[in-house]
């Protein structure tokens, strides 16, 4: 077998025969064993929950100030290309520090710096994500409550046999191209959301209209506006369904799939994961997380599916063109703060539908709402399209990774082979 035909991330029969992780790295450094004091501004603090599918999610990142940053990076200051690895809760998540980012590590993470003379950093990232390596890492983890991996076990962890450095770079570059496009889609979606909210604020949430106040004086509203309640504009959809009656592959959404402060919902599970009664939703409907509403888990459904009953499914009452207005209204900080104040329950606070409907809003003329919808709907549609494109890219990356592992794919004609494997 030539170097160009070597499998990726596959152990030889009878066990591994490659180097230990410490043999191909210059540093494997543990994080502080305590929580960092968080700040409103400063350096990103990378927690285990911020690592997913080989990437760092900076969307709702916590931050630390200069003093905390200096203390939490005293062992080793992370730099672009370094790998962040979770050794507990859960074991085996991986991310790579991107260019132009200064970060520090949260608890239960490890900083790994590749030796560039021995292994390509991108190759190492995807190698650690490969199925065989993940299975072996999990087999080494211990713990009665939560699994954790000892640092020494990680340092001495035996990797599969490595191909030439040149071929490593080809693999790393090919796989990272998918992640780069996904990252661009994420950035586009964030910009689309920001523009939509700015247009809403400019058109409907000014001090002149009194949006969100307990009482709105009719004589202060612009001509054609009226004071009303949010319940005048929206209805809840409570179509309950037993998920076991749906195909196993039916998309299933829980609150863990919804990112804080983002209307983009790009992750979901499958109906077979849940057995209790759920709400049914359709693409384009608004989903509002009513448990711990201060997390602002509000988004647009990117597909049909079922969801937790802690997610309220919402539609406009007066017409589809009110959807964009409602979506932006439900994500305003003023409304989220209101939901937090009126929610009930000490440990698991939830906001009730009636309280949501009782929120005072200035209601603009329909002509203004239609004009706003025409401007913002293309942004919302673009977000949904980008979500599906990113999931397709993620699948293609996984197919390529699987093909490299089994040896069914080489990098001579990867595009053609990915298309063939996707058809299977």
Per-residue pLDDT reduced to its tens digit, 318-327: 999 999 999 9
- Per residue in 154-182, pLDDT tens? 999 999 989 899 999 999 999 999 999 99
Banded model confidence at residue 143, pLDDT cuts 50, 70, 90 = confident
% pLDDT > 90, the chain? 77
Residues forming a β-bridge with 313: 237, 287
The gap from C-alpha 119 to its chain's centroid, in whole angstroms, comes to: 28
Summarize the confidence of residues 252-273 as an average pLDDT: 94
SS3 content of the chain, % helix, strand, coil (to 5): 40, 20, 40
pLDDT at 423 over 60: no
Higher pLDDT, 125 or 399: 125
Is the model's pLDDT at 415 over the cut of 80?
no
- Report the pLDDT value the prediction gives residue 289, as an integer from 0 to 100: 98
Structural domains of the chain in order of their starting residue, each with its CATH number = 9-163 (3.90.220.20), 210-364 (3.90.220.20)
pLDDT of residue 283 exceeding 50: yes
With 70 as the cut, is the pLDDT of residue 37 above it? yes
For residue 2, is pLDDT > 50? no
In angstroms, what CA-CA distances link 126 with 63, 174, 400? Answer: 27, 11, 11
For residues 1-29, one letter each, b for 16 or more C-beta atoms within 10 angstroms of the residue's C-beta and e for the rest, the string is: eeeeebbbbbbeeeebeebebbebbeebb
- H or E element at residue 245: none
Mark 136-149 as b/e (b = at least 16 C-beta within 10 Å): bbeeebeeeeebbb
* pLDDT tops 90 at residue 147: no
State residue 4's pLDDT score: 43
Confidence (pLDDT) at 222: 86
pLDDT of residue 3: 43
- Write down the pLDDT at residue 421: 46
- 408: which 2 tokens? 């069914």
Helix axes 121-129, 131-140, angle to 10 degrees: 70
| Cα–Cα distance measured from residue 139 to residue 236, given in angstroms and rounded to the nearest whole number | 46
The mean-pLDDT minimum among 217-226, 309-318, 362-371, 389-398 falls in 217-226
From 161, 15, 125, 31, select the one nearest 87 (Cα to Cα): 31
Q: Specify the range with the lowest mean pLDDT, choosing from 104-113, 200-209, 336-345.
A: 200-209
* Alpha carbons 270 and 285: distance in angstroms, whole number: 19
With pLDDT > 70 as the criterion, what percentage of the chain qualifies? 90
The pLDDT-based confidence of 218 (bands split at 50, 70, 90) is: low
Tens-place pLDDT, residues 85-135: 999 989 999 999 999 999 999 999 999 999 999 999 999 999 999 888 999
Average per-residue pLDDT for the chain: 90
**What mean pLDDT is predicted for residues 18-31?**
97
Residue 12 near residue 102 (C-beta atoms within 8 A): no
For residue 364, the model assigns a pLDDT of 94
């Amino acid at each position: 077998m030539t170097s160009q035909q070597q499998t990726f991330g596959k152990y030889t029969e009878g066990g591994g025969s490659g180097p230990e992780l410490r043999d191909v790295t210059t540093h494997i450094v543990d994080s502080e064993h305590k929580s960092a004091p968080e700040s409103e501004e400063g350096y990103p603090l990378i927690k285990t929950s911020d690592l997913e599918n080989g990437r760092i999610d900076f969307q709702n990142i916590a931050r630390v100030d200069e003093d905390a940053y200096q203390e939490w990076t005293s062992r080793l200051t992370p730099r672009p290309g370094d790998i962040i690895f979770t050794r507990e809760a859960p074991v085996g998540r991986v991310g790579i520090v991107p260019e132009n980012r200064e970060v520090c590590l949260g608890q239960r993470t490890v900083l790994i710096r590749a030796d560039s003379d021995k292994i390509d950093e991108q190759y190492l990232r995807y190698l650690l994500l490969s199925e065989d390596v993940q299975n072996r890492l999990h087999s080494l983890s211990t713990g009665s409550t939560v699994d954790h991996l000892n640092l020494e076990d990680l340092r001495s962890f035996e990797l599969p046999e490595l191909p030439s450095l040149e071929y490593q770079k080809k693999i790393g570059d090919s796989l990272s191209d998918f992640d780069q496009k996904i990252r661009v889609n994420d950035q586009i979606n964030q910009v689309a959301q920001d523009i939509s909210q700015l247009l809403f604020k400019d058109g409907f949430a000014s001090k002149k209209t009194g949006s969100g106040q307990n009482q709105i004086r009719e004589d202060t509203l612009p001509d054609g506006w009226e004071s009303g309640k949010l319940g005048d504009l929206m209805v809840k959809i409570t179509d309950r369904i037993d998920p076991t009656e749906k195909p196993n592959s039916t998309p299933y959404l829980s609150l863990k799939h919804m990112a804080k402060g983002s209307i983009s919902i790009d992750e979901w599970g499958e109906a077979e994961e849940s057995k209790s009664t759920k709400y049914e939703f359709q693409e384009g409907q608004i989903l509002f997380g009513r448990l711990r509403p201060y997390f602002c888990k509000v988004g647009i459904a990117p597909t049909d599916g079922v969801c937790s009953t802690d997610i309220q499914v919402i539609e406009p009452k007066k017409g589809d063109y009110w959807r964009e207005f409602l979506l932006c209204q439900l994500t305003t900080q003023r409304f989220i703060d209101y939901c937090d104040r009126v929610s009930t329950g000490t440990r698991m606070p939830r906001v009730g539908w009636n309280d949501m409907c009782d929120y005072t809003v200035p209601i603009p003329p329909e002509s203004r709402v239609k004009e706003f919808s025409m401007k913002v709907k293309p942004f919302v549609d673009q977000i949904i399209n980008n979500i599906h494109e990113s999931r397709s890219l993620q699948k293609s990356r996984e197919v390529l990774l699987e093909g490299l592992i089994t040896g069914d794919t080489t990098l001579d004609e990867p595009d053609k082979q990915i298309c063939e494997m996707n058809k299977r």
